[in-house]
Structure 1
């Protein structure tokens, strides 16, 4: 069964490797091309993530560096990889092609300059998360004790996303900022989050947040990071499925997807350690859900919920 995965951090590893890591088959990458092919991943989203310790005046260049490796190492050296730059590109991938979509994990790279976000959008970014776990000029992240909401600039970013049919990703926001996004975002999504009811982690979503996402037509893509699945930090595929069960019980059966966080996590779900093992998850889900429902989780829910095609 084909897969759409909304989040991985391979670009950070490729940029850190400075051209010495092969996207085709490097064992350093959970999401290399060979593993994506084996796991039947049809679309992989690649996050641009800028580490907090990078100096402010170097962050936009760091984002451009990651896009350079995306264009040259992921796309340029692998003819099967095709960049998705508009929402109807999903419908035109050939049988042997894998779609590759850019996302932005935190807007630290743009400082207070919306023109820089426009440049990143022109280069292909179709989903924007306002923060990582820290605070920035747009909002407070889940790890910021202050827990403040969106700034005026943060609201301008969401409005920019609305105008350009860009997803606004809530996965790393503090709760106050989450609710501010829900008030104004046309295209909210949680690219890699689980249920706080089952695992009390600051990165997970409460029942109230999940219901609000579903009520607004947003999707929640479950994440494969064990500390977000079980508080013990060790997790099986069955443990991950409990989060899917929980979101289904809240009314989200048609609004659930996958956001592995491969290449950004150090701990792994047993028998789901990289992209090549995706069908282990599919096969386990088929024991409890209909084929249509599992197809929804795997890719169809996202296709049906994506923003309208651009004119």
Structure 2
């Protein structure tokens, strides 16, 4: 087995805003398309439902719209397989299918309802980020000035996700909430698309202690390709991506670092890494600095081993 696994993209958000876009076509206005994923040798792609800030009164109907788009327009493509269980992932790769995992970025649309959460689980959602950048009913995001942690309902959400088998994602979560989730969660958690704060001081990035803790818990950090998260002057190169990977490996461990491109959610790109096809250049750059085993772990093995361990063994 060889290939690429990416922990986060925003194709679904673009499809929700513009139904005319086509994931199945290469020149479609999307960074991530089925032909580009095939060209990159992708094994699995995670697809996030994010309700844009422009949506008034976000709710369950918006999340279910994203779910429907995922199963019809992405997982429904020939050669794709929507992943609900660890066995689904193994089977997809064994049979040469491209695995697709459904995630939610920000719990806003749940409106505090655990029944809604259980509905999303039944519909195939397997990973949840509590917040986007700002506060919601569950927690504060990294851009919220008060920098608070989890609410009472947010704490209940963490426990219910643990019970159901929904993986928690701390990308966008304020640091206080990170440590409260760490105390509450019985299971490893991830940062699907975050970088290293000490290399670039953007508040979306994780500090040394956070990175180390994710590694200690058996979680994974997906390194983000967005230039403002990679370099203080936002003029990032592929070498900046490599530096963040190396530092995250140093602090979190080689099994804790993978890829989380944030494609289709970022306006500015690293030159040569504008879409999944650019992974060959990143792979070449990594090979100059790391061992073959380390490169394989970053490109796909760490995400694969995490998901086959942490995804539910059955659908319900």
Establish whether TM, by shorter chain, passes 0.5: yes
* Residue number in structure 1 paired with 2:23: 23
| 1:95 Cα offset (Å) | 4.6
Aligned 1:123-202 pairs, distance under 5 A: 123-185=123-185, 186-202=187-203
Cross-structure match for 2:216: 215
Q: Go from structure 1 to structure 2 and tell me whether the alpha carbon gap of 1:102 and 1:188 turns closer, same or farther (over 3 Å shift).
A: same
What's the TM-score once normalised by structure 2's chain length?
Answer: 0.94
Farther off after superposition, 301-310 or 104-113: 301-310
Structure 2 residues without counterparts, runs of 5 or longer: none
> 2:8: which partner in 1?
7
> Which aligned segments of 4 or more residues in structure 1 are displaced greater than 3 angstroms?
none
- Paired residue secondary structure (2:168): strand
Aligned to 1:60: 60
Partner in structure 1 of residue 71 of structure 2: 71
Deviations 1:30-77 (A, max 9, x none): 111011101111100000001123222x5321111122221221133x
Indicate whether 1:310 and 2:313 are aligned. yes
For residues 111-169 of structure 1, what are the alpha-carbon distances to aligned partners after superposition, in whole Å with 9 as ceiling and x for unaligned?
Answer: 01111111111111111000000100000001100111101111111111111222100
In structure 1, the residue matched to 2:284 is 283
1:27–1:297 CA distance, 2 compared to 1 (3 A): same
Query: Is this contact kept in 2: 1:165–1:187, CA < 8 A?
Result: no
After alignment, is 279-288 or 194-203 more displaced?
279-288
CA distance in 1, matches of 2:252, 2:66: 37
In structure 2, the residue matched to 1:258 is 259
Q: 1:112 is matched with which residue?
A: 112
Cα deviations by residue, 1:160-189 (Å, 9 ceiling, x for unpaired): 111122210001101101111111121210
Q: Which residue of 2 aligns with 1:230?
A: 231
Provide the rounded CA distance (Å) in 1 between the counterparts of 2:219 and 2:97.
Answer: 27
Instruction: Output the CA distance in 1 between the equivalents of 2:53 and 2:86.
Output: 30
TM-score normalized by the length of structure 1: 0.96
8 Å contact from structure 1 (residues 40, 278) kept in 2: no
Superposition CA RMSD, Å: 1.3
Contact 1:166 1:187 in 2 (8 A): no
2:80 aligns with 81
Q: Deviation of residue 11 (structure 1)?
A: 0.4
- Residue range with higher mean Cα deviation, 26-35 or 226-235: 26-35
TM-superposed deviation, 1:301: 1.2
| Number of aligned positions between the proteins | 308
> Contact 2:211/2:252 (CA < 8 Å) preserved in 1?
no
Structure 1, 89-98 or 124-133: larger mean CA deviation: 89-98
- Unaligned ranges ≥5, structure 1: none
Question: Which stretch shifts more, 104-113 or 62-71?
Answer: 62-71
Using the TM superposition, give the Cα deviation of residue 6 of structure 1 relative to its aligned residue in structure 2, in angstroms.
Answer: 0.7
